[in-house]
Structure 1
Amino acid sequence: MAQLDDDTGLPASLATAWGLRERPAKGPKPGLSLDRIVGAAVGIASAEGVEAVSMGRVAKELGVSTMSLYRYVGAKDELYVLMQEAAQGPAPEPPADRTGWRDLLAWWARAQREVLHRHLWLLRIPVTAPPASPNAVSWMERGLAAMADTDLPEGEKISVILLVSGFVRHEATLMADLDAAYRASGLTPDEAMRRYGRVLRRLTDPERHPAMTRLIVSGAMDVADDPDAEFEFGLARILDGIAGLVERRGGS
Protein backbone atom coordinates (compact mmCIF):
# COMPACT_ATOMS: atom_id res chain seq x y z
CA MET A 1 0.00 0.00 0.00
CA ALA A 2 1.24 3.47 -0.83
CA GLN A 3 2.52 5.55 2.07
CA LEU A 4 0.39 8.70 2.41
CA ASP A 5 1.47 12.19 3.40
CA ASP A 6 -0.10 13.11 6.74
CA ASP A 7 -1.11 16.65 5.74
CA THR A 8 -2.38 16.18 2.16
CA GLY A 9 -3.35 12.53 1.95
CA LEU A 10 -1.26 12.29 -1.21
CA PRO A 11 1.05 9.34 -1.86
CA ALA A 12 4.49 10.13 -0.48
CA SER A 13 6.01 10.33 -3.97
CA LEU A 14 3.52 13.03 -5.03
CA ALA A 15 4.09 14.96 -1.82
CA THR A 16 7.78 14.82 -2.73
CA ALA A 17 7.00 16.11 -6.23
CA TRP A 18 5.25 19.10 -4.65
CA GLY A 19 8.29 19.76 -2.47
CA LEU A 20 6.38 18.85 0.69
CA ARG A 21 8.74 16.03 1.57
CA GLU A 22 12.42 15.42 1.12
CA ARG A 23 13.38 12.91 -1.54
CA PRO A 24 14.21 9.48 -0.11
CA ALA A 25 17.83 8.92 0.74
CA LYS A 26 19.63 6.59 -1.63
CA GLY A 27 18.90 2.95 -0.94
CA PRO A 28 21.27 0.03 -0.98
CA LYS A 29 21.49 0.13 -4.79
CA PRO A 30 23.77 3.07 -5.73
CA GLY A 31 22.21 5.50 -8.15
CA LEU A 32 18.62 4.34 -7.73
CA SER A 33 16.26 7.32 -7.52
CA LEU A 34 12.64 8.25 -8.15
CA ASP A 35 13.65 10.05 -11.36
CA ARG A 36 15.42 6.96 -12.69
CA ILE A 37 12.45 4.75 -11.84
CA VAL A 38 10.00 7.05 -13.60
CA GLY A 39 12.34 7.49 -16.57
CA ALA A 40 12.64 3.73 -17.01
CA ALA A 41 8.86 3.32 -16.82
CA VAL A 42 8.31 6.04 -19.42
CA GLY A 43 10.87 4.40 -21.68
CA ILE A 44 9.07 1.06 -21.48
CA ALA A 45 5.68 2.68 -22.15
CA SER A 46 7.07 4.59 -25.14
CA ALA A 47 8.60 1.48 -26.67
CA GLU A 48 6.04 -1.19 -25.83
CA GLY A 49 2.91 0.49 -24.52
CA VAL A 50 1.76 1.19 -21.00
CA GLU A 51 0.51 -2.39 -20.63
CA ALA A 52 4.14 -3.51 -20.50
CA VAL A 53 4.86 -1.38 -17.43
CA SER A 54 4.98 -3.21 -14.11
CA MET A 55 7.04 -2.81 -11.00
CA GLY A 56 8.88 -6.02 -11.84
CA ARG A 57 9.62 -4.94 -15.40
CA VAL A 58 10.91 -1.54 -14.29
CA ALA A 59 13.10 -3.18 -11.66
CA LYS A 60 14.54 -5.53 -14.30
CA GLU A 61 15.23 -2.57 -16.58
CA LEU A 62 17.17 -0.87 -13.78
CA GLY A 63 18.92 -4.01 -12.60
CA VAL A 64 17.46 -3.91 -9.09
CA SER A 65 15.04 -5.99 -7.06
CA THR A 66 11.33 -5.24 -7.33
CA MET A 67 11.10 -4.62 -3.59
CA SER A 68 13.73 -1.88 -3.79
CA LEU A 69 11.34 0.23 -5.91
CA TYR A 70 8.78 0.39 -3.12
CA ARG A 71 11.12 2.63 -1.14
CA TYR A 72 10.26 5.29 -3.75
CA VAL A 73 6.88 4.32 -5.26
CA GLY A 74 4.10 2.65 -3.30
CA ALA A 75 2.13 1.05 -6.15
CA LYS A 76 1.83 0.82 -9.92
CA ASP A 77 -1.07 3.30 -10.00
CA GLU A 78 1.16 5.79 -8.24
CA LEU A 79 3.88 5.13 -10.81
CA TYR A 80 1.35 5.85 -13.58
CA VAL A 81 0.68 9.28 -12.10
CA LEU A 82 4.39 10.04 -11.94
CA MET A 83 4.82 8.87 -15.55
CA GLN A 84 2.04 11.21 -16.63
CA GLU A 85 3.67 14.00 -14.69
CA ALA A 86 6.97 13.45 -16.47
CA ALA A 87 5.46 13.14 -19.95
CA GLN A 88 3.13 16.15 -19.62
CA GLY A 89 5.68 18.55 -18.29
CA PRO A 90 4.52 21.90 -16.95
CA ALA A 91 1.93 23.82 -18.95
CA PRO A 92 3.69 26.25 -21.29
CA GLU A 93 3.10 29.97 -21.29
CA PRO A 94 0.65 31.09 -24.00
CA PRO A 95 2.13 33.10 -26.88
CA ALA A 96 1.94 36.85 -26.41
CA ASP A 97 -0.33 37.24 -29.42
CA ARG A 98 -3.03 35.03 -27.90
CA THR A 99 -5.71 37.21 -26.35
CA GLY A 100 -9.31 36.65 -25.35
CA TRP A 101 -10.77 33.52 -23.82
CA ARG A 102 -11.53 31.78 -27.12
CA ASP A 103 -8.06 32.20 -28.58
CA LEU A 104 -6.42 31.16 -25.31
CA LEU A 105 -8.66 28.14 -24.82
CA ALA A 106 -8.04 26.98 -28.41
CA TRP A 107 -4.29 27.31 -27.85
CA TRP A 108 -4.62 25.33 -24.60
CA ALA A 109 -6.50 22.53 -26.35
CA ARG A 110 -3.94 22.30 -29.17
CA ALA A 111 -1.07 22.23 -26.67
CA GLN A 112 -2.68 19.30 -24.85
CA ARG A 113 -3.22 17.49 -28.14
CA GLU A 114 0.46 17.87 -29.03
CA VAL A 115 1.46 16.24 -25.73
CA LEU A 116 -0.92 13.31 -26.26
CA HIS A 117 0.25 12.76 -29.82
CA ARG A 118 3.88 12.68 -28.63
CA HIS A 119 3.03 10.18 -25.88
CA LEU A 120 0.11 8.07 -27.10
CA TRP A 121 0.56 5.67 -24.20
CA LEU A 122 -0.88 8.38 -21.94
CA LEU A 123 -4.28 7.63 -23.49
CA ARG A 124 -4.15 4.06 -22.14
CA ILE A 125 -3.76 5.08 -18.51
CA PRO A 126 -7.21 4.98 -16.88
CA VAL A 127 -8.46 8.15 -15.24
CA THR A 128 -9.06 7.19 -11.60
CA ALA A 129 -8.79 10.47 -9.70
CA PRO A 130 -8.77 14.25 -10.24
CA PRO A 131 -5.39 15.78 -11.22
CA ALA A 132 -3.20 16.25 -8.16
CA SER A 133 0.38 16.39 -9.44
CA PRO A 134 2.24 19.68 -9.98
CA ASN A 135 2.28 19.60 -13.79
CA ALA A 136 -1.30 18.37 -14.07
CA VAL A 137 -2.47 21.20 -11.82
CA SER A 138 -0.44 23.69 -13.86
CA TRP A 139 -2.39 22.62 -16.97
CA MET A 140 -5.66 23.12 -15.09
CA GLU A 141 -4.48 26.53 -13.96
CA ARG A 142 -3.65 27.54 -17.52
CA GLY A 143 -7.07 26.43 -18.77
CA LEU A 144 -8.93 28.24 -16.02
CA ALA A 145 -6.84 31.37 -16.57
CA ALA A 146 -7.97 31.38 -20.20
CA MET A 147 -11.52 32.00 -18.95
CA ALA A 148 -10.54 34.85 -16.62
CA ASP A 149 -12.12 37.61 -18.74
CA THR A 150 -15.55 35.94 -18.75
CA ASP A 151 -18.35 36.23 -16.21
CA LEU A 152 -18.74 32.48 -15.92
CA PRO A 153 -19.03 31.19 -12.35
CA GLU A 154 -15.97 29.24 -11.22
CA GLY A 155 -17.93 25.97 -11.30
CA GLU A 156 -18.85 26.54 -14.94
CA LYS A 157 -15.25 27.38 -15.80
CA ILE A 158 -14.08 24.00 -14.57
CA SER A 159 -16.93 22.35 -16.48
CA VAL A 160 -15.72 24.11 -19.63
CA ILE A 161 -12.19 22.88 -18.99
CA LEU A 162 -13.41 19.31 -18.56
CA LEU A 163 -15.48 19.56 -21.75
CA VAL A 164 -12.57 20.80 -23.86
CA SER A 165 -9.98 18.42 -22.42
CA GLY A 166 -12.42 15.53 -22.81
CA PHE A 167 -12.82 16.37 -26.49
CA VAL A 168 -9.03 16.53 -26.93
CA ARG A 169 -8.55 13.16 -25.25
CA HIS A 170 -11.35 11.53 -27.25
CA GLU A 171 -10.02 12.85 -30.56
CA ALA A 172 -6.48 11.73 -29.80
CA THR A 173 -7.69 8.27 -28.77
CA LEU A 174 -9.82 7.90 -31.91
CA MET A 175 -6.99 8.98 -34.20
CA ALA A 176 -4.54 6.62 -32.46
CA ASP A 177 -6.95 3.69 -32.76
CA LEU A 178 -7.65 4.41 -36.43
CA ASP A 179 -3.95 4.74 -37.20
CA ALA A 180 -3.29 1.37 -35.53
CA ALA A 181 -6.12 -0.19 -37.54
CA TYR A 182 -4.78 1.21 -40.81
CA ARG A 183 -1.31 -0.12 -40.05
CA ALA A 184 -2.70 -3.56 -39.19
CA SER A 185 -4.76 -3.71 -42.41
CA GLY A 186 -1.95 -2.48 -44.64
CA LEU A 187 -4.32 0.08 -46.17
CA THR A 188 -3.91 3.82 -46.43
CA PRO A 189 -6.65 5.92 -44.79
CA ASP A 190 -8.14 6.73 -48.21
CA GLU A 191 -8.13 3.06 -49.24
CA ALA A 192 -9.78 2.04 -45.97
CA MET A 193 -12.44 4.72 -46.34
CA ARG A 194 -13.22 3.72 -49.93
CA ARG A 195 -13.57 0.10 -48.82
CA TYR A 196 -15.93 1.17 -46.07
CA GLY A 197 -17.94 3.18 -48.60
CA ARG A 198 -18.30 0.10 -50.82
CA VAL A 199 -19.52 -1.94 -47.85
CA LEU A 200 -22.11 0.69 -46.99
CA ARG A 201 -23.35 0.75 -50.57
CA ARG A 202 -24.01 -2.98 -50.35
CA LEU A 203 -25.72 -2.79 -46.97
CA THR A 204 -27.95 0.26 -47.39
CA ASP A 205 -30.74 1.28 -49.74
CA PRO A 206 -32.41 4.65 -50.42
CA GLU A 207 -35.77 3.71 -48.91
CA ARG A 208 -34.53 2.41 -45.57
CA HIS A 209 -31.47 4.64 -45.28
CA PRO A 210 -32.16 7.90 -47.16
CA ALA A 211 -29.74 9.96 -45.07
CA MET A 212 -26.95 7.41 -45.47
CA THR A 213 -27.64 7.26 -49.18
CA ARG A 214 -27.24 11.02 -49.51
CA LEU A 215 -23.96 10.79 -47.64
CA ILE A 216 -22.62 8.03 -49.87
CA VAL A 217 -23.74 9.71 -53.10
CA SER A 218 -22.10 12.97 -52.02
CA GLY A 219 -18.66 11.34 -52.21
CA ALA A 220 -17.83 12.33 -48.63
CA MET A 221 -16.95 8.70 -47.84
CA ASP A 222 -14.47 8.38 -50.70
CA VAL A 223 -11.59 10.20 -49.00
CA ALA A 224 -10.42 10.04 -45.38
CA ASP A 225 -10.76 13.28 -43.47
CA ASP A 226 -7.61 15.12 -42.48
CA PRO A 227 -7.17 14.56 -38.71
CA ASP A 228 -6.05 18.14 -38.10
CA ALA A 229 -9.03 19.53 -39.99
CA GLU A 230 -11.41 17.24 -38.07
CA PHE A 231 -9.90 18.37 -34.78
CA GLU A 232 -10.18 22.05 -35.67
CA PHE A 233 -13.80 21.57 -36.82
CA GLY A 234 -14.80 19.87 -33.59
CA LEU A 235 -12.92 22.33 -31.41
CA ALA A 236 -14.51 25.30 -33.19
CA ARG A 237 -18.01 23.88 -32.67
CA ILE A 238 -17.35 23.36 -28.97
CA LEU A 239 -16.00 26.88 -28.65
CA ASP A 240 -19.10 28.17 -30.47
CA GLY A 241 -21.24 26.56 -27.80
CA ILE A 242 -19.10 27.97 -25.00
CA ALA A 243 -19.35 31.40 -26.65
CA GLY A 244 -23.12 31.18 -26.37
CA LEU A 245 -22.81 30.40 -22.67
CA VAL A 246 -20.35 33.26 -22.12
CA GLU A 247 -22.70 35.64 -23.89
CA ARG A 248 -25.68 34.56 -21.80
CA ARG A 249 -23.62 35.14 -18.65
CA GLY A 250 -22.79 38.66 -19.87
CA GLY A 251 -19.03 38.10 -20.25
CA SER A 252 -16.65 39.48 -22.87
Structure 2
Amino acid sequence: MTDENQLPAEVTLLWGLRETVRRGRKPSLTVADITRAAVEVADAEGLAAVSMSRIAAELGNATMALYRYVKSKDELLVLMADAALDGPADLPDDVDWRTGLAVWVQGVLTVLRRHPWTAQIPISGPPMGPNNLWWFDRALHALAGTDLEEEDKVGVVMGLLTFVHGELRLSLDLSAGYAENPEAFGRQYGTTLSQVVDARRFPALSRAIDAGVFEGEVLYDEEAEMAFALNLYLDGVAAFIEHRTAARKDRAPHTGDHSPNAKPGRG
Protein backbone atom coordinates (compact mmCIF):
# COMPACT_ATOMS: atom_id res chain seq x y z
CA MET A 1 0.00 0.00 0.00
CA THR A 2 1.30 3.45 -0.95
CA ASP A 3 1.74 5.99 1.81
CA GLU A 4 -0.47 8.99 0.96
CA ASN A 5 2.11 11.29 2.55
CA GLN A 6 4.95 9.92 0.47
CA LEU A 7 6.23 12.53 -1.98
CA PRO A 8 6.09 11.65 -5.69
CA ALA A 9 9.43 10.79 -7.27
CA GLU A 10 9.26 13.90 -9.46
CA VAL A 11 8.89 16.13 -6.40
CA THR A 12 11.81 14.57 -4.53
CA LEU A 13 13.94 15.12 -7.63
CA LEU A 14 12.91 18.74 -8.21
CA TRP A 15 13.31 19.72 -4.56
CA GLY A 16 16.60 17.91 -3.96
CA LEU A 17 15.04 15.41 -1.54
CA ARG A 18 15.99 12.22 -3.33
CA GLU A 19 18.64 10.01 -1.81
CA THR A 20 21.39 9.44 -4.34
CA VAL A 21 22.94 6.00 -4.72
CA ARG A 22 26.58 6.37 -3.78
CA ARG A 23 29.29 3.79 -4.29
CA GLY A 24 33.02 4.14 -3.91
CA ARG A 25 34.55 7.59 -4.18
CA LYS A 26 32.85 10.84 -3.30
CA PRO A 27 30.54 11.72 -6.20
CA SER A 28 31.83 14.36 -8.62
CA LEU A 29 28.39 15.28 -9.96
CA THR A 30 25.25 16.93 -8.63
CA VAL A 31 21.74 17.17 -10.04
CA ALA A 32 22.33 20.90 -10.47
CA ASP A 33 25.46 20.20 -12.57
CA ILE A 34 23.56 17.82 -14.82
CA THR A 35 20.63 20.20 -15.23
CA ARG A 36 22.88 23.16 -15.99
CA ALA A 37 24.77 21.23 -18.67
CA ALA A 38 21.53 20.04 -20.27
CA VAL A 39 20.12 23.58 -20.40
CA GLU A 40 23.33 24.86 -21.99
CA VAL A 41 23.18 22.18 -24.70
CA ALA A 42 19.50 22.87 -25.40
CA ASP A 43 20.12 26.63 -25.57
CA ALA A 44 22.96 26.16 -28.04
CA GLU A 45 21.67 23.30 -30.20
CA GLY A 46 18.02 22.69 -29.42
CA LEU A 47 16.19 20.07 -27.39
CA ALA A 48 16.90 17.29 -29.89
CA ALA A 49 20.59 17.50 -29.00
CA VAL A 50 19.92 16.62 -25.35
CA SER A 51 20.52 13.02 -24.36
CA MET A 52 21.90 11.33 -21.30
CA SER A 53 25.05 10.31 -23.17
CA ARG A 54 25.60 13.81 -24.56
CA ILE A 55 25.24 15.44 -21.16
CA ALA A 56 27.55 12.86 -19.61
CA ALA A 57 30.15 13.67 -22.26
CA GLU A 58 29.78 17.39 -21.59
CA LEU A 59 30.48 16.73 -17.93
CA GLY A 60 33.36 14.34 -18.60
CA ASN A 61 31.57 11.35 -17.05
CA ALA A 62 30.27 7.98 -18.12
CA THR A 63 26.60 7.88 -19.06
CA MET A 64 25.82 5.43 -16.26
CA ALA A 65 27.13 7.94 -13.74
CA LEU A 66 24.22 10.26 -14.57
CA TYR A 67 21.65 7.59 -13.76
CA ARG A 68 22.70 7.67 -10.12
CA TYR A 69 21.15 11.14 -9.97
CA VAL A 70 18.61 11.30 -12.81
CA LYS A 71 16.82 8.09 -13.74
CA SER A 72 15.80 8.95 -17.29
CA LYS A 73 15.71 11.62 -19.98
CA ASP A 74 12.10 12.33 -18.99
CA GLU A 75 13.30 13.25 -15.50
CA LEU A 76 16.00 15.40 -17.04
CA LEU A 77 13.39 17.29 -19.06
CA VAL A 78 11.39 17.94 -15.88
CA LEU A 79 14.49 19.44 -14.26
CA MET A 80 15.27 21.53 -17.33
CA ALA A 81 11.75 22.93 -17.58
CA ASP A 82 11.89 24.16 -14.00
CA ALA A 83 15.44 25.47 -14.29
CA ALA A 84 14.50 27.54 -17.35
CA LEU A 85 12.15 29.63 -15.22
CA ASP A 86 14.60 31.94 -13.48
CA GLY A 87 13.19 33.48 -10.31
CA PRO A 88 10.66 36.32 -10.82
CA ALA A 89 11.20 39.86 -9.65
CA ASP A 90 9.01 41.01 -6.77
CA LEU A 91 6.13 43.27 -7.76
CA PRO A 92 5.87 46.70 -6.07
CA ASP A 93 3.44 46.61 -3.15
CA ASP A 94 1.32 49.45 -4.54
CA VAL A 95 0.73 47.94 -7.99
CA ASP A 96 -2.87 47.09 -8.88
CA TRP A 97 -3.82 43.49 -9.66
CA ARG A 98 -4.24 44.05 -13.39
CA THR A 99 -0.87 45.71 -13.87
CA GLY A 100 0.71 43.07 -11.65
CA LEU A 101 -0.64 40.19 -13.73
CA ALA A 102 0.29 41.91 -17.01
CA VAL A 103 3.86 42.39 -15.75
CA TRP A 104 3.88 38.79 -14.55
CA VAL A 105 2.81 37.45 -17.96
CA GLN A 106 5.42 39.53 -19.75
CA GLY A 107 8.04 38.33 -17.28
CA VAL A 108 7.23 34.66 -17.80
CA LEU A 109 7.27 35.03 -21.58
CA THR A 110 10.55 36.95 -21.51
CA VAL A 111 12.23 34.23 -19.46
CA LEU A 112 10.86 31.33 -21.50
CA ARG A 113 11.73 32.96 -24.84
CA ARG A 114 15.36 32.83 -23.75
CA HIS A 115 14.92 29.06 -23.80
CA PRO A 116 12.58 28.39 -26.76
CA TRP A 117 13.03 24.64 -26.41
CA THR A 118 10.75 24.74 -23.35
CA ALA A 119 7.80 24.93 -25.74
CA GLN A 120 8.62 21.39 -26.89
CA ILE A 121 8.49 19.84 -23.40
CA PRO A 122 5.08 18.26 -22.64
CA ILE A 123 3.16 19.73 -19.71
CA SER A 124 1.82 16.76 -17.76
CA GLY A 125 0.55 18.42 -14.59
CA PRO A 126 0.18 21.58 -12.50
CA PRO A 127 3.25 23.58 -11.32
CA MET A 128 5.43 21.48 -9.04
CA GLY A 129 9.07 22.58 -9.14
CA PRO A 130 10.49 25.36 -6.94
CA ASN A 131 10.90 27.89 -9.76
CA ASN A 132 7.45 27.16 -11.21
CA LEU A 133 5.88 27.52 -7.77
CA TRP A 134 7.78 30.74 -7.17
CA TRP A 135 6.20 32.27 -10.27
CA PHE A 136 2.83 30.80 -9.25
CA ASP A 137 3.13 32.46 -5.85
CA ARG A 138 3.94 35.86 -7.40
CA ALA A 139 0.85 35.74 -9.62
CA LEU A 140 -1.35 34.86 -6.64
CA HIS A 141 0.24 37.73 -4.72
CA ALA A 142 -0.85 40.14 -7.47
CA LEU A 143 -4.46 39.20 -6.67
CA ALA A 144 -4.06 39.57 -2.90
CA GLY A 145 -5.95 42.87 -2.71
CA THR A 146 -9.02 41.64 -4.57
CA ASP A 147 -12.26 40.22 -3.16
CA LEU A 148 -11.59 36.83 -4.72
CA GLU A 149 -11.54 33.67 -2.64
CA GLU A 150 -8.27 31.74 -2.67
CA GLU A 151 -9.63 29.05 -5.01
CA ASP A 152 -10.77 31.75 -7.44
CA LYS A 153 -7.30 33.31 -7.41
CA VAL A 154 -5.82 29.93 -8.25
CA GLY A 155 -8.35 29.53 -11.07
CA VAL A 156 -7.40 32.91 -12.52
CA VAL A 157 -3.68 32.08 -12.43
CA MET A 158 -4.19 28.61 -13.91
CA GLY A 159 -6.03 30.29 -16.78
CA LEU A 160 -3.10 32.66 -17.22
CA LEU A 161 -0.71 29.71 -17.33
CA THR A 162 -2.76 28.25 -20.17
CA PHE A 163 -2.60 31.62 -21.94
CA VAL A 164 1.16 31.96 -21.42
CA HIS A 165 2.08 28.51 -22.69
CA GLY A 166 -0.29 28.81 -25.65
CA GLU A 167 1.13 32.23 -26.50
CA LEU A 168 4.69 30.93 -26.20
CA ARG A 169 4.14 28.00 -28.54
CA LEU A 170 2.13 30.00 -31.07
CA SER A 171 4.45 33.00 -31.11
CA LEU A 172 7.57 30.86 -31.61
CA ASP A 173 6.00 28.94 -34.49
CA LEU A 174 4.53 32.03 -36.16
CA SER A 175 7.76 34.00 -35.74
CA ALA A 176 9.68 31.21 -37.45
CA GLY A 177 7.12 31.11 -40.26
CA TYR A 178 7.22 34.88 -40.68
CA ALA A 179 11.00 34.90 -40.83
CA GLU A 180 10.88 32.27 -43.58
CA ASN A 181 8.09 33.84 -45.67
CA PRO A 182 6.91 37.31 -44.58
CA GLU A 183 4.66 37.67 -47.64
CA ALA A 184 2.47 34.83 -46.37
CA PHE A 185 1.50 37.09 -43.46
CA GLY A 186 0.50 40.09 -45.58
CA ARG A 187 -1.50 40.83 -48.71
CA GLN A 188 -0.69 37.42 -50.14
CA TYR A 189 -2.81 35.84 -47.42
CA GLY A 190 -5.78 38.10 -48.12
CA THR A 191 -5.49 37.53 -51.87
CA THR A 192 -5.38 33.76 -51.37
CA LEU A 193 -8.43 33.78 -49.11
CA SER A 194 -10.46 35.85 -51.55
CA GLN A 195 -9.83 33.22 -54.23
CA VAL A 196 -10.65 30.09 -52.24
CA VAL A 197 -13.28 31.11 -49.68
CA ASP A 198 -16.87 30.45 -50.73
CA ALA A 199 -19.37 32.81 -49.07
CA ARG A 200 -21.98 30.06 -48.86
CA ARG A 201 -19.67 27.73 -46.96
CA PHE A 202 -17.77 30.37 -44.96
CA PRO A 203 -20.23 33.26 -44.55
CA ALA A 204 -18.63 34.84 -41.46
CA LEU A 205 -15.10 34.64 -42.87
CA SER A 206 -16.34 36.06 -46.15
CA ARG A 207 -17.72 39.10 -44.37
CA ALA A 208 -14.31 39.70 -42.79
CA ILE A 209 -12.64 39.40 -46.20
CA ASP A 210 -15.14 41.79 -47.80
CA ALA A 211 -14.51 44.26 -44.95
CA GLY A 212 -10.82 44.37 -45.94
CA VAL A 213 -9.56 42.83 -42.71
CA PHE A 214 -6.85 40.85 -44.54
CA GLU A 215 -5.66 43.58 -46.92
CA GLY A 216 -2.93 45.00 -44.69
CA GLU A 217 0.76 44.79 -45.49
CA VAL A 218 1.44 42.90 -42.26
CA LEU A 219 -1.23 40.78 -40.58
CA TYR A 220 0.97 39.44 -37.79
CA ASP A 221 2.33 41.62 -34.99
CA GLU A 222 3.48 39.42 -32.12
CA GLU A 223 3.40 42.05 -29.38
CA ALA A 224 0.12 43.58 -30.52
CA GLU A 225 -1.60 40.20 -30.80
CA MET A 226 -0.38 39.17 -27.35
CA ALA A 227 -1.47 42.45 -25.76
CA PHE A 228 -4.92 42.23 -27.36
CA ALA A 229 -5.49 38.66 -26.18
CA LEU A 230 -4.17 39.37 -22.68
CA ASN A 231 -6.39 42.43 -22.29
CA LEU A 232 -9.42 40.36 -23.28
CA TYR A 233 -8.55 37.82 -20.58
CA LEU A 234 -7.95 40.49 -17.95
CA ASP A 235 -11.22 42.21 -18.89
CA GLY A 236 -12.92 38.92 -18.07
CA VAL A 237 -11.08 38.71 -14.74
CA ALA A 238 -12.11 42.30 -13.95
CA ALA A 239 -15.77 41.43 -14.62
CA PHE A 240 -15.41 38.32 -12.46
CA ILE A 241 -13.94 40.32 -9.57
CA GLU A 242 -16.74 42.89 -9.90
CA HIS A 243 -19.31 40.08 -9.80
CA ARG A 244 -17.68 38.58 -6.71
CA THR A 245 -17.58 41.94 -4.93
CA ALA A 246 -21.23 42.65 -5.71
CA ALA A 247 -22.30 39.16 -4.65
CA ARG A 248 -20.50 39.51 -1.33
CA LYS A 249 -22.15 42.87 -0.62
CA ASP A 250 -25.60 41.54 -1.55
CA ARG A 251 -25.20 38.31 0.38
CA ALA A 252 -24.34 39.62 3.85
CA PRO A 253 -27.47 41.70 4.66
CA HIS A 254 -29.89 39.10 3.29
CA THR A 255 -28.52 35.94 4.86
CA GLY A 256 -26.57 37.18 7.84
CA ASP A 257 -24.04 34.46 7.10
CA HIS A 258 -20.64 35.93 7.87
CA SER A 259 -18.78 32.66 8.34
CA PRO A 260 -15.40 32.46 6.61
CA ASN A 261 -16.60 29.50 4.53
CA ALA A 262 -19.69 31.22 3.19
CA LYS A 263 -19.30 32.32 -0.43
CA PRO A 264 -21.22 32.34 -3.70
CA GLY A 265 -20.58 29.68 -6.30
CA ARG A 266 -18.42 30.25 -9.36
CA GLY A 267 -21.40 30.35 -11.69
TM-score (norm 2): 0.79
Ranges in structure 1 where 5+ consecutive residues have no aligned partner? 1-5
Partner of 1:8 in structure 2? 7
- Specify which of 72, 75, 79 is matched with residue 78 of structure 1: 75
Higher relative contact order (Cα pairs below 8 Å, separated by 6+ residues): 1
Does residue 216 (structure 1) correspond to residue 215 (structure 2)? The answer is no
Which consecutive segments of 4 or more residues in structure 1 shift more than 6 A?
21-27
Range with greater deviation from structure 2 (158-167 or 215-224): 215-224
Residues 1:199 and 1:66: Cα distance change in structure 2 (over 3 Å): same
Superposition deviation, residue 200 in structure 1: 0.7
Any conservation in 2 of the 1:84–1:122 contact (CA below 8 Å)?
A: yes
- Specify which of 184, 187, 190 is matched with residue 181 of structure 2: 187
- Distance in 2 of aligned mates of 1:150 and 1:212: 39
Does residue 116 (structure 1) correspond to residue 104 (structure 2)? The answer is no
Residues 1:118 and 1:210: Cα distance change in structure 2 (over 3 Å): same
Any conservation in 2 of the 1:33–1:72 contact (CA below 8 Å)?
A: yes
- Opposite residue 57 of structure 1, the aligned amino acid is R
TM-score (norm 1): 0.84
- Specify which of 149, 155, 169 is matched with residue 173 of structure 1: 169
Residues 1:53 and 1:25: Cα distance change in structure 2 (over 3 Å): same
- Specify which of 113, 123, 134 is matched with residue 127 of structure 1: 123
- Opposite residue 237 of structure 2, the aligned amino acid is I
Superposition deviation, residue 7 in structure 1: 5.0
- Opposite residue 8 of structure 1, the aligned amino acid is L
- Distance in 2 of aligned mates of 1:230 and 1:187: 19
Alignment of 1:1-252 (within 5 A): 8-11=7-10, 12-16=12-16, 20=17, 31-95=28-92, 99-183=95-179, 186-188=180-182, 190-221=183-214, 222=216, 223-250=218-245
- Distance in 2 of aligned mates of 1:42 and 1:194: 40
Give the share of equivalent positions with the same residue, in percent: 42
Tell me how large the CA RMSD over aligned residues is: 2.7
Ranges in structure 2 where 5+ consecutive residues have no aligned partner? 249-267
Any conservation in 2 of the 1:108–1:143 contact (CA below 8 Å)?
A: yes
